[in-house]
Structure 1
Amino acid sequence: MMKRFLVLLANGFEETEAVTAIDVLRRGGVEVVLSSVADTPLVEGSRKIVVKADVSIDSEGLLDFDGIYLPGGAKGAQTLRDDARAQKLIRAYKENGKLVAAICAAPIALEQAGVLQGETATSNPDFKDHIKQAAYHEEPIVVSGKLLTSRAAGTTLPFALEILRQLGLQDEAKQVSRDMMFDYLIENREKIFY
């Protein structure tokens, strides 16, 4: 059966963190559905790139997924933190034992939802002081049971690969990594990063 993942988009989301993750998950064979927290299906990112969501956050069946992903972007993350519908959905995913993934500033929405209690997590360093319920780690990716967190736009690709692995799609994660030449990038990092 095909795995399914829900992505919550609020105005001000970080484009790299959203689109890269969506792309990697879809390459891995995951059905990805974009849900708008805005009043319209057109959601504007922090760099003014507009993405069209598939469904509204008020749609039925939003729990019929294997996990939920929250991209960062300060404004978007604050909206997810302050939106009662998003908060209810985040709690429901955690309570139902489904994957909950957030990157960059978005762990502040997890903090507000109360799902970080007793977990280990990370975030963008600028939001570290907002994470009080979890044991905070400064790793690029932190997996704490079904809760996955990561740091910033630059960690999105390996984070999305980790989501694939956590969905039980290890072979697909390896193939996507090869197809995108991410494994090559890691093997040759001393030639690329300076």
Structure 2
Amino acid sequence: MGKILIPLAEGFEEIEAVTNIDVLRRAGLEVVTAGIGGREIMGDHAIKVEADEKIENIDSADISAVVLPGGMPGAANLRDSEELLEIIRDVNNRGDLCAAICAAPIVLEAAGILEGKKATSYPGFDEEMQSADYQEKKLVIDGNIITSRGPGLALEFALNIVEYLVDSDKSEQLKNAMLFQG
């Protein structure tokens, strides 16, 4: 398996980004973070993170999955990155995982990969996901697309990604180790 890309843009939701980075690495997956507009990225709640790479240095051929944290204006800044949209299209065209939480499903919409797919988002962003079959559920999996609603679901979202990319045994092992009660 290639790398799991977690892109970060100014205004990202810290809980969603760091939870996914941490859980996926605990699962033994290779995660690379990539900054939009540089390597030092300020989150929505004034937590600065240094990304591993800049988005322009990422080769989509090396990426097996894309996991998008939400937050505003983070999700809008991700959506406005043509480099990221191209990576998402390439990953999706191979049938590999594209996952987004909170406001970030708008990025999947902008990449043109939600048409006819069941998806969810933070309440209110359904208006920006016109091509999707919008679901008001906390987590939606439709083929290679996983979406979730917000920060309080970040751990469950990450564990579902582990189950998708590795297997249910690894997800259960992590749930038990982290005392997850969901």
TM-score by length of 1: 0.90
Question: What is the match of residue 117 of structure 2?
Answer: 119
For the 8 Å contact 1:140–1:150, the answer to whether it is kept is yes
1:126 Cα deviation (Å)? 2.2
Question: What is the match of residue 70 of structure 1?
Answer: 68
For the 8 Å contact 1:28–1:169, the answer to whether it is kept is no
Identity %: 44
For the 8 Å contact 2:5–2:33, the answer to whether it is kept is yes
Question: What is the match of residue 5 of structure 1?
Answer: 4
SS at match of 2:67: strand
SS at match of 1:105: coil
Q: Deviations 1:114-150 (Å, cap 9, x if unpaired)?
A: 1001211000002121111110111111001001100
Q: 2:100, 2:9 → 1: CA distance?
A: 13
Q: For residues 137-176 of structure 1, what are the structure 2 equivalents within 5 Å?
A: 137-176=135-174
1:60 Cα deviation (Å)? 4.3
Runs of 4+ in 1 over 3 A off after TM superposition: none
Question: What is the match of residue 20 of structure 1?
Answer: 19
Q: 2:177, 2:97 → 1: CA distance?
A: 25
Question: What is the match of residue 85 of structure 1?
Answer: 83
Q: 2:50, 2:103 → 1: CA distance?
A: 22
Question: What is the match of residue 35 of structure 1?
Answer: 34
For the 8 Å contact 2:2–2:62, the answer to whether it is kept is no
1:171 Cα deviation (Å)? 1.5
Which amino acid in 1 is paired with 2:32?
V
Q: Which runs of 5+ in 2 are unaligned?
A: none
Give the greater-gyration-radius structure (CA).
Answer: 1
RMSD: 1.2
50, 53, 56: which one aligns with 1:55: 53
Q: 2:19, 2:132 → 1: CA distance?
A: 26
For the 8 Å contact 1:3–1:29, the answer to whether it is kept is no
